[in-house]
Amino acid sequence: MEKIDLKLLKEIAELEGTPQGAYNIRKNGGAGGRACTEHIVIDTKTDKPGIDIRIAPGTQHESVHIPVIITETGLTELVYNDFFIGEDCDVDIIAGCGIHNTGCETSQHDGVHTFYVGKNSRVRYVERHYGEGEGSGARIMNPQTIVYLEEGASINMETTQIRGIDSTKRETKVVAGAGAEVVITEKLLTHGAQTAESDMEIILQGEDSSGRVISRSVAQDTSQQVFYPRMTGEARCFGHVQCDSIIMGNAKIKSIPAIIADSMEAQLIHEAAIGRIAGDQITKLMTLGLTEEEAEEKILEGFLQ
Amino acid sequence: MEKIDLKLLKEIAELEGTPQGAYNIRKNGGAGGRACTEHIVIDTKTDKPGIDIRIAPGTQHESVHIPVIITETGLTELVYNDFFIGEDCDVDIIAGCGIHNTGCETSQHDGVHTFYVGKNSRVRYVERHYGEGEGSGARIMNPQTIVYLEEGASINMETTQIRGIDSTKRETKVVAGAGAEVVITEKLLTHGAQTAESDMEIILQGEDSSGRVISRSVAQDTSQQVFYPRMTGEARCFGHVQCDSIIMGNAKIKSIPAIIADSMEAQLIHEAAIGRIAGDQITKLMTLGLTEEEAEEKILEGFLQ
């Protein structure tokens, strides 16, 4: 692997070289390496671009890395990855896409990830987006994530996009069965003239299902962000959506959540706040010797931690 | 006035007979009485149904009552009332509509109220909706309220619809100038197969403007409620939207707020919660000797207080 590939892998998957366990690296639309394990089998799709990942029932404490790296300018791809996770598993899935665009054409990765999570399985899904390159070509990512949780299953999804992606439209849909649990943590920072939209739908369909969405974002310069988190309760369930945003410069942020109770036994809560960094927080850090810029950076870092 | 008129007036405006101060009573689409004062002049519009209410600058501690009562079945009306409020006023405006429908045809009142509130004036606006009558004819009310607040002006708007209105679509829009203050308290109870929709837009346009929306609702039986409160901050401002709903029976509630920061100096907060009455609250009141129904009624009463 080239140096630039290794740097992108580190940014999006905290990897030093090739991952442990099962993995599939996609590089510039082609194969960049693959490994299966006894319990985790990865196959290339035959009908469209993408892979099928099959995780055997009872697989415990294993991980799958499926990073995507793009270093060619002008590459645009749409990839479908399907995860079939058996019952009683406990696995980590680490996805992510890094684009290094030094050219003047748009580089774009659109990934559609669908998870079928079997009874009582626990999945931790981490997705990082990162862009760099001094070229004028845009770096675009439109991830779509669809999750079906069977009885007692859970997903803990962490998505992070910190700097470098010019335009993103994220769509997430989770359907939770009886006793299933959804936790989504979304972290986003936009700067320059970037735009980001996050459309999220959580359907608490089964009895005693629960959902929690924590969204934290920072919009700098003239960037624009729009959030549409929707939580629907169709049975006895508990749902909580919390969106906090810091606005800076001439940025614009819209937060348009929806909580929808279709059952008298649904308990749904939503909280959202948009505001700038409190002046006294900056002053306090400056008295400790930081410059205004350093103080601001520290506060944002803590906020997006 | 007839006995039924007096009962409706009491329900919607807490009036015992004719109001004090300026008033205009509209009954079954016609004139039901009017009084002006030295500072408050009411004129019938010449181009469309409705009235113009002109309040002279400096008018202090006066009130205007403009109740509407409908006792005929099959009456449908659309009325425009415009309020021109001078500078430095402090006035109470009490509107409201009561429908007594014993027939089988729909009785409907749609009122468009526009307020032009002059510099540093304070307006308290109270609007109550009430329906009754054992007829099969529907009782429908679609109020539209538009408020323009000049510098330093304020409006405190209280709307209440407790029982009896089969269908309502409420639209409220407030534009707040520099230092202006908007407070809206909305109370709603629907039952049977009633539907209610409330669409609200608060635009904090001026520096140091502020807005606060408190919405409390109860949906019983198979009734349906939808809330769309939107708060936009276009300057240094503070906005807070708070929606709490109690869901009962097979009712459905959607709460779809939006907070939109178009300025880095806008501070906006939203909170929403939908849930049923806590079981331990009922148990506690039952140990004090109340039946389950009485306990429920007491809790709802407190919630909508």
In this predicted model, what pLDDT tens digit does every residue of B198-251 receive, in sequence order?
999 999 999 999 999 999 999 999 999 999 999 999 999 999 999 999 999 999
Residue in chain A closest to B219 (alpha carbons) equals: A264
pLDDT above 90 covers a percentage of chain B that reads 71
* Half-sphere exposure in the Cβ direction for A5 (13 Å, CA): 13
Higher-confidence residue: A18 or B177?
B177
A264 contacts on B by Cβ (under 8 Å): 247-251, 276
Considering only A2-11, B70-79, B110-119, B250-259, which range has the smallest mean pLDDT? A2-11
As a whole number of angstroms, the distance between CA A253 and CA A255 comes to 7
Does the pLDDT of residue B163 top 90, yes or no?
no
Residue in chain A closest to B258 (alpha carbons) equals: A256
Instruction: Mark yes or no for CB contact B270/A258 under 8 Å.
Output: no
Higher-confidence residue: B201 or A9?
B201
pLDDT value of position B268: 95
Segment holding B11, helix H or strand E: helix B3-13
B269 contacts on A by Cβ (under 8 Å): 271-275
A262 contacts on B by Cβ (under 8 Å): 252
In this prediction, residues A235-261 reach a mean pLDDT of: 95
Interface test with B, best of A248, A274, A282 (most B CBs within 10 A): A274
Instruction: Mark yes or no for CB contact A258/B261 under 8 Å.
Output: no
> What are the two backbone dihedrals, phi and then psi, of residue B220, each rounded to the nearest 5 degrees?
-110, 170
Does the pLDDT of residue B1 top 80, yes or no?
no
In chain B, % helix, strand, coil (3-state, to 5) comes to 10, 55, 30
Instruction: Mark yes or no for CB contact A272/B267 under 8 Å.
Output: no
pLDDT value of position B61: 95
Instruction: Mark yes or no for CB contact B267/A260 under 8 Å.
Output: no
Residue in chain B closest to A223 (alpha carbons) equals: B262
As a whole number of angstroms, the distance between CA B95 and CA B125 comes to 8
Phi-psi region of A283 (alpha: psi -120 to 50; beta: other; left: phi over 0): alpha
Residue in chain B closest to A235 (alpha carbons) equals: B250
* Mean pLDDT across chain A: 93
Residue in chain A closest to B266 (alpha carbons) equals: A275
Q: How many CB atoms lie within 10 A of CB B166?
A: 22
Q: Which of A251, A261, A273 sits opposite B274 (nearest CB)?
A: A261
Per-residue confidence at B284, pLDDT binned at 50, 70, 90?
Answer: confident
Cα torsion through A39, A44, A48, A49, rounded to 10: 100
Higher-confidence residue: B7 or A238?
A238
A271 contacts on B by Cβ (under 8 Å): 269-272
Q: Which of A256, A261, A269 sits opposite B258 (nearest CB)?
A: A256
Instruction: Mark yes or no for CB contact A274/B268 under 8 Å.
Output: yes
pLDDT value of position A16: 79
Instruction: Mark yes or no for CB contact B274/A265 under 8 Å.
Output: no
* Minimum distance, in Å, between the CA of residue A65 and any CA atom of chain B: 37
Considering only A43-47, B72-76, B243-247, which range has the smallest mean pLDDT? B72-76
Instruction: Mark yes or no for CB contact A254/B255 under 8 Å.
Output: no
Burial class of A283 by CB neighbour count within 10 A (0 to 12, 13 to 18, 19+): exposed
* Minimum distance, in Å, between the CA of residue A95 and any CA atom of chain B: 31
User: How does pLDDT run across B77-128, given as a tens digit for each residue?
Assistant: 999 999 999 999 999 999 988 888 888 889 899 999 999 999 999 999 999 8
A247 contacts on B by Cβ (under 8 Å): 261, 263-264, 266
Instruction: Mark yes or no for CB contact A266/B247 under 8 Å.
Output: yes
Residue in chain B closest to A232 (alpha carbons) equals: B254
Which positions in chain B have a beta carbon within 8 angstroms of at least one beta carbon in chain A?
Answer: 233, 245, 247-276
A274 contacts on B by Cβ (under 8 Å): 233, 259, 261, 266-269
**Tokens 């002279």 map to which residue?**
B56
Instruction: Mark yes or no for CB contact B260/A257 under 8 Å.
Output: no
Nearby residues of A215 by Cβ (< 8 Å), 6 or more positions away: A184, A185, A186, A188, A198, A227, A229, A241, A242, A243, A244, A245
Secondary structure (DSSP) of B233-265: E-SSEEEEEEEEEEE-TT-EEEE--EEEE-STT
Q: How many CB atoms lie within 10 A of CB B226?
A: 17
Decide: B132 and B107 in contact? Cβ < 8 Å.
no
Query: If you ran DSSP here, which 8-state letter would residue A236 be given?
Result: S
Per-residue confidence at B164, pLDDT binned at 50, 70, 90?
Answer: confident
User: How does pLDDT run across A108-134, given as a tens digit for each residue?
Assistant: 999 999 999 999 999 999 998 988 888
Give the CA diameter of chain B: 61
A275 contacts on B by Cβ (under 8 Å): 261, 266-269
Does the pLDDT of residue A273 top 90, yes or no?
yes
pLDDT value of position A284: 86
Using CA atoms, how far residue B270 sits from A271, B223, B257, in Å, is 5, 25, 8
Does the pLDDT of residue B255 top 90, yes or no?
yes
Decide: A126 and A91 in contact? Cβ < 8 Å.
no
In this prediction, residues A192-215 reach a mean pLDDT of: 96
Dig out the tokens for B60 from the structure: 């202090």
As a whole number of angstroms, the distance between CA A301 and CA A295 comes to 10
User: How does pLDDT run across A137-164, given as a tens digit for each residue?
Assistant: 889 999 999 999 999 999 999 999 888 8
Instruction: Mark yes or no for CB contact B276/A257 under 8 Å.
Output: no
Instruction: Mark yes or no for CB contact A247/B261 under 8 Å.
Output: yes
Instruction: Mark yes or no for CB contact B247/A255 under 8 Å.
Output: no
Alpha helices in chain A (DSSP H): 3-13, 279-287, 292-303
Q: Which of B126, B128, B174 is nearest to B154 (CA)?
A: B174
In this prediction, residues A265-278 reach a mean pLDDT of: 92
Decide: A34 and A23 in contact? Cβ < 8 Å.
yes
Instruction: Mark yes or no for CB contact A267/B250 under 8 Å.
Output: no
Higher-confidence residue: A162 or A187?
A187
Q: What is the ipTM of this complex?
A: 0.85
In this prediction, residues A190-199 reach a mean pLDDT of: 94
Amino acid residing at B34: R
Interface test with A, best of B200, B259, B276 (most A CBs within 10 A): B259
As a whole number of angstroms, the distance between CA B199 and CA B211 comes to 16
Instruction: Mark yes or no for CB contact A262/B252 under 8 Å.
Output: yes
* Minimum distance, in Å, between the CA of residue B164 and any CA atom of chain A: 22
Q: Which of B248, B255, B276 sits opposite A258 (nearest CB)?
A: B255
Give the residues across from A258 on adjacent strands: A230
Give the residues across from A219 on adjacent strands: A190, A247
Per-residue confidence at A18, pLDDT binned at 50, 70, 90?
Answer: confident
Q: Which of B87, B187, B207, B203 is nearest to B147 (CA)?
A: B203
Using CA atoms, how far residue A61 sits from A22, A158, B288, in Å, is 12, 18, 54
Q: How many CB pairs under 8 A join A and B?
A: 107
User: How does pLDDT run across A72-98, given as a tens digit for each residue?
Assistant: 888 999 999 999 999 999 999 999 888
pLDDT value of position A6: 86
As a whole number of angstroms, the distance between CA B19 and CA B237 comes to 38
* Mean pLDDT across chain B: 93
As a whole number of angstroms, the distance between CA B119 and CA B111 comes to 25
pLDDT above 70 covers a percentage of chain B that reads 100
Higher-confidence residue: A50 or B281?
A50
